[in-house]
């Protein structure tokens, strides 16, 4: 039950991420910083991609991936089409990784200690959904602030 719910939610919300990134009026606006906003929509997108590829793709799905947080927050001017491609790739990795888990895996302790707290895989995946949605809201806000809409 939890497995199917998480698959549906990650599928839905990674599609929302793709829509948000695609909705920027131009590529340069993805990377702009305005007022007190510290991270651009493009950098938040890279952060989400890195986060999900590391914790779901690499740790749970055994996909080969090495995270580079400095890249996530430091890289600029990646074309919108490349970000969309990365989101689509991330979605496939996340969904494949989740589909390959047994329902019993969600009650097991997550393989690495992330918040200095032991937690089940199911609990940690719920945290990842919340993290994704928190940043989706930031990207939406950033896009509207930048475009003055």
Give tens-digit pLDDT for 81-90: 999 999 999 9
List, for residues 64-78, the tens digit of each pLDDT value.
999 999 999 999 999
CA distances from residue 41 to 21, 133, 141 in whole angstroms, order as listed:
8, 13, 9
Q: Which of 1-26 are b and which e, b meaning 16 or more Cβ less than 10 Å from the residue's Cβ?
A: ebbeebbebbeebbebbbebbeebee
List, for residues 3-38, the tens digit of each pLDDT value.
999 999 999 999 999 999 999 999 999 999 987 888
d(CA 55, CA 39): 22
- Dihedral (C-alpha) 44, 49, 54, 56: value to the nearest 10 degrees? 120
Residue 38, pLDDT score: 87
Residue 45, pLDDT score: 98
Sorting pLDDT into bands at 50, 70 and 90, what band is 117? very high
Helix ranges (H only) for the chain are 2-22, 41-52, 69-74, 80-99, 121-147
**Overall average pLDDT of the 122-138 stretch:** 98
pLDDT of 134 over the 80 cut: yes
pLDDT of 79 over the 80 cut: yes
Sketch the domain layout of the chain as residue ranges.
2-147
Give pTM, 2 decimals. 0.95
Fold of 2-147: 1.20.120
Percent of all residues in the chain with a pLDDT value above 70, rounded to a whole number: 99
d(CA 90, CA 140): 19
Q: Is 120 helix (H, G, I), strand (E, B) or coil?
A: strand
Residue 124, pLDDT score: 98
d(CA 61, CA 93): 8
């Amino acid at each position: 039950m939890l497995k199917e719910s998480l698959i549906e939610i990650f599928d839905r919300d990674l599609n929302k991420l793709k829509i948000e990134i695609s909705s920027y009026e131009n590529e340069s606006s993805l990377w702009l910083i305005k007022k007190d906003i510290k991270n651009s929509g493009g950098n938040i997108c890279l952060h989400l991609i890195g986060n999900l590829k590391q914790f779901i793709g690499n740790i749970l799905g055994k996909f080969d991936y090495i995270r580079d947080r400095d890249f996530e927050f430091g890289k600029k001017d990646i074309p919108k089409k490349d970000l969309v491609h990365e989101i689509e790739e991330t979605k496939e990795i996340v969904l494949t990784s989740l589909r390959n888990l047994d329902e019993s895996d969600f009650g097991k302790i997550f393989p690495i200690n992330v918040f200095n707290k032991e937690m089940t895989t199911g609990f940690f995946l719920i945290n990842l959904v919340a993290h994704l949605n928190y940043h989706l809201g930031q990207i939406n806000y950033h896009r509207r602030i930048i475009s003055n809409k």
